[in-house]
Structures are given as C-alpha cells and as structure tokens.
Structure 1
C-alpha cells in the first residue's frame, strides 16, 4: 500500500509541475506578445506623426494610451496582478481622445457630447472608488519560506 500511495503522490506532483509549466509558459508568451504588439503599434503611430510632420492632440493621447498599456503589461509581468486602475485610465484617455476628435473635427456638439462627458465622469468616480477601497482594504501577499506567494490576506485599517 505504501508503494501505491507513493506512486500516486509522485504522479500527482509530476502532473502539477507539468501543468504549471504549460500555464506559466503560455502566460509569459502572451505577455511578451501583448507587449510587442503595444510597442509595434506605438512605433507605427509615432512614424505616422513623423510622416505628417506634426502631432495632433489625438496623436499624443493615442501615445498615452500605448504608454498605459505598456505600463500595465509591465506591472502584470512583475506582480501577476492586473491593475484595474490602468484599465480605467486607458478608458478615460480613449474617451477623451474620441471627445476631442469628435468636437474639433467632425460635427456640432449634441447629446453625444454629454454622454461622453458622463462616461468620463463615471470612470473618474470609478478610479476614486478603487483608490479609496485599496487604501481602506490593502492587500498583502503571504509568502512561504521560498518566497512563493501562498495567498492574500486583507487587512482593514482602523
């Protein structure tokens, strides 16, 4: 019986190790692909500005979006946590870029302008809510003796 239990445990450990290897390999490959695509897109956008001979506010805001995407990939690569605030910043910048382009280039402002401003305002409130929540309920990582993350604990500040 001891031999069977030992074999089962060994097979289980091997399967876990192989599964972790496959998942982590896919994870890192995906991060590198997303990072490379972000760099590629920002270089293409920048070269388009150089070819035009000037940069509009739309172009600059697009570069800010690429910068935030790159920062988000970098933070996720280092911590394995996706910072939701960066997604909110990207959404705010994208709506602002759309708003500026829509008003300055295309048509007379209408009710759509209020919708865009309302969306930006709601996203800004979301950033505020996330900041308050992360300050009030900070997440601390619990590490084992090898420095591996075991889980999260949430400590409420008094």
Structure 2
C-alpha cells in the first residue's frame, strides 16, 4: 500500500524536474537562436565590408548577401513561431547553387555537363518547394501543445501560415 504523502512528493518532484528541464531547454533554444542570428549578421557585415574594400561587386557577392538575408529571415521566423521554415533552407540551397552556377560559367567560360547537373539540382529543389507548399497548405501539422489554449494554438497556426506564405 502506497503512502499518500509519498505519492504527492513524487508528483511534486516530477513537476519540478519537468519545469526545470523545460526552462533549460528553452534557455538553450534562445541562446542558440541569438548566437546563430548574431553570427549570420556578423558574416553578412564582414562580407559587405570585403566587397566595399574590393572596390567592385559581382553577382556572386549579391547572391551571397541574399543567402545571409534568407538565413536571417529563417532565424527570425523560427524565433517567432518555433517552426523551422524548411522552404527557407531550400531557398538558401537554390541561391547557393545559382551562385555556384554563375561563378562557374563566368570564370571558366566553357559550360560543360556540370552546368546541366547544377541546373537539374536547382530544378529538383524548386519542385521540392512546390511539394512542401502543397503539403503544408493541404496537410497542416500545427496542434495545440500541452497546456496551450485553443486560441493560442490558432494564433500560432496563423503565424505559421503567415511564415509559410511568400
């Protein structure tokens, strides 16, 4: 036979451990987001200053700045909604491949099969964006989390939809 006060103590300890764990995870989450955001901003400013120092800017440089912009937007959206915008990762990949393609063609002057491969990869990523958009609009995955009211859940759902639209 269990003693009632022991069961109450067990539940209290479990609640305290869960609260402390949630606090530590949330703290790490925010620390990591601020770190990633700060490093992204630092890299963008450094790249921009190098462009100014160089005295001219190429399409490669502009695409690099777009990559930093997309990474910053991705961090901001994740910070606000706690949802990883997968489409932004795909946009970064498309921009990086486009940068590679432009750099390769402008420096080597002779397009080869590598251009076809990179172009095919860009096409596949564009199709992946279509699939992700279709899936997120027809099969939303936002569900209320533990302790969250229905209105808070619908507010988060609206934020996620707003983050998912272009």
Query: Shared topology, TM-score over 0.5?
Result: yes
The corresponding residue for 1:85 is 87
Alignment partners' CA distance in 2, 1:81 and 1:62: 24
* C-alpha distance in 2 between matches for 1:33 and 1:132: 32
Secondary structure of the structure 1 residue equivalent to 2:60: helix
Aligned-CA RMSD value? 1.8
Equivalent residue number for residue 23 of structure 1: 25
Task: Pick the aligned partner of 2:149 from 122, 144, 147.
Answer: 144
Of Structure 1 and Structure 2, the greater strand share is in 1
Q: CA deviation at 1:145?
A: 6.8
Q: Which of residues 42, 45, 50 is equivalent to 2:44?
A: 42
Give, in angstroms, the shift of residue 138 of structure 1: 2.6
Q: CA deviation at 1:141?
A: 3.9
Q: Number of residue pairs matched?
A: 150
Structure 2 unmatched runs, 5+? 158-166
Which residue does the alignment assign to 1:108? 110
Instruction: Identify which of structures 1 and 2 has the higher relative contact order when contacts are C-alpha pairs closer than 8 Å and 6+ apart.
Output: 2
* TM-score normalized with structure 1 length: 0.89
TM-score, scaled relative to structure 2: 0.85
Which whole-Å CA distance do the structure 2 matches of 1:106 and 1:77 have between them?
41
Q: Which runs of 5+ in 1 are unaligned?
A: 153-158
Question: How many angstroms apart in 2 are the aligned matches of 1:22 and 1:108?
Answer: 54
